[in-house]
Structure 1
Amino acid sequence: MKRIFIFTFLYFLGCSSVPQKPGGVYPESSHKISNSNDGVVVTAHPLATKAGVEILAAGGNAVDAAVAAAFALAVVEPSMSGIGGRTQILIGKPNGEVIGIDGTTQAPSTYDFENAPKKRYGYPSIGVPGVVRGHTKALSEHGSLPLKQVMTPAIRLANNGHELIRGEAMRQQFVHEQLKEFAGSKQYFLNEDGSSRNAGDWVVQKDLGRVLQSIADEGPEVFYSGWIAERIVEDNQANGGVLTLESLKNYKAEDSHIVAGSYRGYGLKGLWMPAYGAITIEALQILETISDDYSDNQQWGEALYHAIEAAYLDRKKQHTLEDADRLTSKQWAQKRESEIHNDTAMKVNWRDMPESWTLPMGHTTHLTVVDRNGMVVALTQTVGTTMGSKVATPGLGFVYAQTLGGYLGEVKAGYRAPSHISPMLVTKDDKPFIALGAAGGSRIPSSIVAVISRVVDQGNTLEKAMALPRVHPVENGIAIEFTSNGGWSMADSAYFTQLGHEVSIQRRPGSFGRIHAVIKNETNGSWTGVADPDWEGSAASPNK
């Protein structure tokens, strides 16, 4: 009989097993659902949600609100994302037009992977940031308000301060020793005596506020070719990094290629590389091929496991647009489904994977917004693992993402390394129906597939679909979610064991992806936003 492995992770935001200093609890974190005709904002932090709602209330559209919330997250949730990181943005317009923006971090054109230090954090791991270009491109091309107005909530949070939420405090404490290694990180994320901050501490970030204000006043050029760029490069080169002024100046956010598929008659739209929209669509179409009936939860879990495992075989086969068409075709889904029980075809070399593909703990942040006109935005941004490179430049106040050194695999000169980021749009009659995305590293696609299937196949509300337990393929078999929110049971574990799997029971809330999503209510045309129950995020709307 296969063994059952039980892993209990205490490192989570509000895990009751870990003593907490009073404070750092936002009542709005309990506001997981919002229904409105005036728009909805769903993010991983109540203050970022509030920033987006403020912009919607001021007459902004979904892009305006999403960019405002994203910049706010850079202030209040730096362990997960920030202006030194990367972003992928999916925009669905009411007329059915779908737009994607790629703001992924990039290796400088002079980067030499073979001879570069293989550092998973520190200055050698830093590539060219993409968030600022990505967000400002989205705003200038699809927003309706000026950059200065949209960035005001984030600037206010940085300059006036905010109460450190429990989860963010715990994540920063978790990497305390690495943060101590770098002068800027010590300055911005530790106390003067070198200790970690606690939940409830009041955090003021004047240097970050100055940087954000400069971007608001002068546009993205100040970040990529002005005084901010000069300070980035000066600090980076003095400490063994590879960034150059030329590499920052030449960076552009790019239009993404939209990949498309379908599931049970609903349209699917996602982003091609360096996002994983094709893999997410492929997994859904394999799941569709396996069975027409997923009313039984155990059978659903088994099918989802196989669909994700099969689709993940193709992660290293995404190179050309011909690959995009092939991987998102129904014929390819049928081929992969037919190979599910073929041990040779399904053989996975777990040792030949980038670190980011196999970490048991996922990171990143995702937000979703819909406005009163039905425009939706699904935006995912990240710095990699907790606090990314662990480096902040003195005078600037933000951390940089991990990009180089092998964390994302081999990154060639000028290359944008792929990641599991996968904002997704489900359409009905070619119009937005569900917009969603996730945080959680390699478990991003599997969590998105699970939620879409729970809604479409099982008829669950979006709220229930996000609360129901998930599964994910791991090296030792199948990982299943045991949480207080109605996770899998020991009987379910025995079922998967009887099917021949080694079962990894995982109890840490949020370890199977954190979804933030909106769905259109077909009866009255309103929209409902739902924040993942396993995180501290919230959903809110104007005029409520």
Structure 2
Amino acid sequence: MAQRKNHLAMLGLLVLCAACSPNEKLAPVSRGEPGKGDAGAEPDGGETGTEDDLFAELPEIAPTASGRGGAAATVDLRGTLAAIEVLKKGGNAVDAAVAAASVLGATDPFSCGVGGGGFMLVYLAADNKVVAIDHRETAPSGLEASAFYENGAPIAFDDLVTSGLSVGVPGTVRGWSEALRRYGTLGLKDVLQRAIQVAEAGFAVDKTFFEQTGRNLARFQAITSSKELFLGPDGEAWPVGTVFKNPDLARTYRLIAEGGERAFYEGEVAEAIVAAVREPPIEPGSTLNVRPGVIAPADLQDYEVRVRPAISTTYRDYTIHGMGLPSSGGITVAEALNLLEGFDLETLTPVEVLHRYLGASRLAFADRGAFLGDPEFVEAPVAGLLSKDYADARRDLIDLDKAPTGAAAPGDPFAFQTDPSPSPGGGQSARRGDAGPNDAGDNETTHITISDAAGNIVSYTCTIEAEGGNGMVVPGHGFLLNNELTDFNVPSDPAAPHPNVAEPGKRPRSSMSPTIVMKDGKPELALASPGGSTIITTVLQILVGHIDLGLPIDKALAAPRISQRNASSGSSDAETAFLGTPEAEGLEALGHVLSDANTTGGEIGAATALRFNGDGTVTAVAEPVRRQGGSAMVEQAP
């Protein structure tokens, strides 16, 4: 959910509503008028001077900002403000990223929160090193792939989403704790204070929050805890302008702030999660079939974060760092870039560039679907997929004169492994996986991009998977659970091997693609996006636009998008703004079939990025229009 410009003025009235009952409607005010903040007091009731409180007078939303010191870009003004606030008080980029993410858990609850997980890519300036913090959700120890079948057939996707079966063991809180312990300067108690305050004071419901609630209306009406939080007395979405408060989430944050990660993975919060998954809180009389799951207390207690090396490739004069498995994002982006590197894109027309971009994405997605899964369960041929020689062997499959028809077959990256022998993890069985489905592109997620004055950088994608997760608010604790296990493949034949089928303790394959780009050993760019499997193509298109076509980073990020993910039909999704352009007509003349993304999920991605300039300044960029526009700020204006 993005920060919406048209409700800033409403925010100013929140300070007047300290005595309002929860979720009381405000009168609307004019668009664009700066408002007084809703966070002028510390969470413990103490006061702070407005000169030290960035939330006391909320600024106008700006999708682009340049300056010195630290910088932040998120989909929501308060998330960005929380990050800048921490940076100004001496915290580093990791501290600021956790502060921003926790605030987004309150203001963007349909996209992220403590009920989910994520991938955090961190550049450590002092060590000139990039590390990846994997806090992806895991399948419960009692879950087998057979749980996703009934009467020999896969459970319908929509039925699986709203169920206890789809809930992975949440990793967010342990991920935050591990990131702060290893690389931060503050603790959970310090960085959660603003999120506590925002959840407790509330904020004005805007158009997007209202619409997101509406798209979840049927299942929220069927789940008692979700109905109680997100719907009004009439069982409908809270109207635009309502002061939406979440005191249960504020209390959950307080428990974590005081008790650390154990307060989430043990005790009352953990017990409430287990109860909600195993006995979904269904409204009496509801006909919605919400299947129970199998999460047990030990699954929460035993959840572990993985700190992994980033994967990397070179592209022209740049080094691209990304997230490795169990995310497919970094590998798929890198393979597509390796394919594109064989073309001199600077000399080509925009149509020729896009034609090659679509062809490279198609081939990379074929390999993604066939080979990639949790590295603790599958010996995926990562070295082969990242091999420049492998890209050379595959590049000729991109017909320069016409669009392909149908889906591409996967290649044979095992032949390009530095060590081609399979391990007991089952690499050869992964080779028998099919090209995979044309994964949905409309999943809600959010991306946070932050840097600090010392040069540390965080590119952080976090999620609860679909918009609204699995639809179930944990009773008494104010956060939605994820439906991340729907990211596992469920073949029509239960016996069919695939690297991404469910297994106990396994992490489902992701598309999240936090990315950090270096040039001459120095940071050049950090970026990523939400958007399900379109995350990969969004990052790829932005990189091509900025590096090859020379677009300024804000223009590369704002450009209309087109996404090819190896669809069986051969078609590519295109934003409405792209359709009808000369580039679209040129692609169609080559035989490309373009499907309007508005019929398959709407906008493609909602990215944020940082560009590190040669003069020592940084440019922070968020979407100017998608999801109603994001927020970018710098620590020190020029």
Letter in 2 for 1:99: V
The answer to whether residue 314 in structure 2 is matched with residue 262 in structure 1 is: yes
Q: TM-score, normalised by structure 1?
A: 0.90
Q: TM-score, normalised by structure 2?
A: 0.77
The answer to whether residue 397 in structure 2 is matched with residue 318 in structure 1 is: no
- Segments of structure 2 that go 5 or more residues without pairing to the other structure are 7-26, 35-58, 150-154, 281-291, 411-432, 491-500
C-alpha contact (below 8 Å) 1:365/1:380 kept by paired residues:
yes
Look up the SS of the partner of 1:256 in the other structure: strand
Map of 2:461 onto structure 1: 380
CA distance in 1, matches of 2:556, 2:207: 26
Moved more, 431-440 or 398-407: 398-407
Given the superposition, is the C-alpha separation of residues 466 and 277 from structure 1 closer, same or farther in structure 2, using an over 3 Å criterion? same
CA distance in 2, matches of 1:161, 1:208: 11
**What do the CA deviations read for 1:157-198 (whole angstroms, capped 9, x no partner)?**
011111223222211111111111111111111112211112
The answer to whether residue 287 in structure 2 is matched with residue 229 in structure 1 is: no
Shift of 1:480: 2.6
Given the superposition, is the C-alpha separation of residues 543 and 258 from structure 1 closer, same or farther in structure 2, using an over 3 Å criterion? closer
CA distance in 2, matches of 1:29, 1:230: 42
Map of 1:369 onto structure 2: 450
The answer to whether residue 522 in structure 2 is matched with residue 491 in structure 1 is: no
Match of 2:298 among 243, 246, 265: 246
Map of 2:242 onto structure 1: 201
Letter in 2 for 1:249: Q
CA distance in 1, matches of 2:31, 2:541: 29
Shift of 1:236: 2.2
RCO greater where, 1 or 2, for CA within 8 Å and sep 6 or more?
A: 1
Map of 2:98 onto structure 1: 67
Given the superposition, is the C-alpha separation of residues 352 and 76 from structure 1 closer, same or farther in structure 2, using an over 3 Å criterion? farther
Match of 2:145 among 88, 113, 129: 113
Given the superposition, is the C-alpha separation of residues 528 and 196 from structure 1 closer, same or farther in structure 2, using an over 3 Å criterion? same
Shift of 1:449: 0.9
C-alpha contact (below 8 Å) 2:447/2:459 kept by paired residues:
yes
Match of 2:89 among 50, 58, 62: 58
Between the aligned residues of both structures, percent identity stands at 29
Map of 2:49 onto structure 1: none
The answer to whether residue 530 in structure 2 is matched with residue 411 in structure 1 is: no
Map of 1:177 onto structure 2: 218
Q: CA RMSD in A?
A: 2.7
Letter in 2 for 1:259: I
C-alpha contact (below 8 Å) 1:103/1:253 kept by paired residues:
yes
C-alpha contact (below 8 Å) 2:488/2:508 kept by paired residues:
no
Q: Aligned ranges for residues 79-478 of structure 1 at < 5 Å?
A: 79-94=110-125, 95-116=127-148, 118=155, 119-239=160-280, 240-275=292-327, 276-293=329-346, 296-315=349-368, 316-319=370-373, 323-341=381-399, 346-347=408-409, 357-404=438-485, 409=490, 410-473=501-564, 475=567, 476=569, 477-478=571-572
Given the superposition, is the C-alpha separation of residues 166 and 449 from structure 1 closer, same or farther in structure 2, using an over 3 Å criterion? same
CA distance in 2, matches of 1:218, 1:360: 37
C-alpha contact (below 8 Å) 2:333/2:536 kept by paired residues:
yes
C-alpha contact (below 8 Å) 1:339/1:345 kept by paired residues:
no
CA distance in 1, matches of 2:188, 2:194: 11
Shift of 1:489: 3.4
Given the superposition, is the C-alpha separation of residues 22 and 443 from structure 1 closer, same or farther in structure 2, using an over 3 Å criterion? farther
CA distance in 2, matches of 1:334, 1:514: 32
Count the aligned residue pairs. 524
Moved more, 143-152 or 314-323: 314-323
Given the superposition, is the C-alpha separation of residues 294 and 465 from structure 1 closer, same or farther in structure 2, using an over 3 Å criterion? farther
CA distance in 2, matches of 1:307, 1:334: 12
C-alpha contact (below 8 Å) 2:367/2:435 kept by paired residues:
no
- Segments of structure 1 that go 5 or more residues without pairing to the other structure are 1-10
**What do the CA deviations read for 1:300-347 (whole angstroms, capped 9, x no partner)?**
211111111111011131255762221112112222212224879824
Letter in 1 for 2:372: Q
Given the superposition, is the C-alpha separation of residues 404 and 374 from structure 1 closer, same or farther in structure 2, using an over 3 Å criterion? same
Given the superposition, is the C-alpha separation of residues 408 and 101 from structure 1 closer, same or farther in structure 2, using an over 3 Å criterion? farther
